[in-house]
Amino acid sequence: MAGLKLLGLVASPFVVRVRMALSMKGVSYEYAEEDLKNKSELLLKSNPVHQKVPVLIHNGKPICESLVIVQYVDEVFAGPPILPTDPYERATARFWAAFIDDKLCPAWIGILRAKAEDERAEKVTETFAAIGQMEEALAKSYEGKAFFGGESIGYLDIVLGSCLFWFEAFRRMYKVEIINSSKVPLLAAWAERFGKSAEAKELVPEADEAVQYVNKRAAAAAAAAAK
């Protein structure tokens, strides 16, 4: 679509959310991969507050932050609704999406950024606690549904599902299984269904992308330290 451009990063789960939302609406767009070590002038101009991806530029106007962008896409473009149409269900989905970004994401990203084993162990514990609460939410608010969105993928599925390839990367890199079927069986079953969905197969990267991104960042840091 003319006038629609997404600034992103392949390994970013937050970018994956936006790409899934645009795909669900059947919207075409121009995609530009960003180098976060050498940010483009367009990114700095479009998101001067956080200087992060994703940024969706629609008719020259930038929209920032993944949750905001997904809601914008849902409101602006025709197609199947991404957020629930019922006001209470929509509010519930927004609550848990905010929980994911405020509690779960900082915890699992903290595993990646930890400098010492005790720090990493602390972040693993925080991640498990947040995942446990998502399991309870699935049991109480979404009982009997194939997805958080009902019988098909919706807003909350996009928000959490975009992290799954990183969870698999952590299993490979740190032997940490974030969604364990014996501990969170409902989420494990949901994750399997999500992974088999057409939307996930099309747009969620393989765990290799995350592993390669970590290795690339580590190599760059080592090279910089050696100078």
CATH number at residue 12: 3.40.30.10
Range scoring the smallest mean pLDDT among 17-31, 33-47, 211-225: 211-225
Q: Read off the pLDDT of each residue in 187-212 and give the average, rounded to a whole number.
A: 96
Do the bridges between strand 4-8 and strand 30-33 make them parallel or antiparallel, or are there none, so unpaired?
A: parallel
Residues 31 and 10 in one domain: yes
Q: In what helix (H) or strand (E) does residue 106 lie, and over which residues does it extend?
A: helix 105-113
pLDDT in tens, 127-178: 999 999 999 999 999 988 999 999 999 999 999 999 999 999 999 999 999 9
Q: Is residue 224 predicted with pLDDT exceeding 90?
A: no
Same structural domain for residues 46 and 95? no
* Owner of token pair 């990646």: 112
pLDDT in tens, 204-214: 999 999 999 99
Asked if residue 225 is part of any domain, the answer here is: no
Is 102 contained in some domain? Answer: yes
pLDDT band at residue 218, thresholds of 50, 70 and 90? confident
Q: For position 207, which CATH number holds?
A: 1.20.1050.10
Q: What is the reported pLDDT for 221?
A: 83
Mean pLDDT over 179-183 rounds to: 97
Structural domain of 31 = 4-76
Distance of CA 174 to the CA centre of its chain: 20
pLDDT attached to residue 2: 55
Query: In the predicted model, what is the mean pLDDT of the chain?
Result: 96
Cβ contacts of residue 189 below 8 Å, gap of 6+?
A: 181
Rounded Cα distance, 107 and 25, in Å: 31
Amino acid letter, 52: K
User: Considering its fold, how many domains does the chain have in total?
Assistant: 2
Question: What region, left, alpha or beta, does residue 40 occupy, with left being phi > 0 and alpha being psi -120 to 50 degrees?
Answer: beta
Do 97 and 59 sit in the same domain of this protein? no
Is pLDDT at 1 greater than 70 in this prediction? no
Please indicate whether residue 223 or residue 17 has the higher confidence score (pLDDT).
17
Considering the entire predicted model, what is its pTM?
0.95
Position 193 scores a pLDDT of: 97
**pLDDT digit string (tens) for 65-108?**
999 999 999 999 999 999 999 999 999 999 999 999 999 999 99
Q: Is the predicted pLDDT of residue 223 greater than 90, yes or no?
A: no
For the chain, what percent of residues have pLDDT higher than 70?
A: 99
Residue 116 — very low, low, confident or very high, per pLDDT cuts 50/70/90? very high
What pLDDT does residue 123 have?
98
pLDDT confidence of residue 220: 86
Domain end position, chosen among 76, 104, 137: 76
Q: State percent of the chain over pLDDT 90.
A: 93
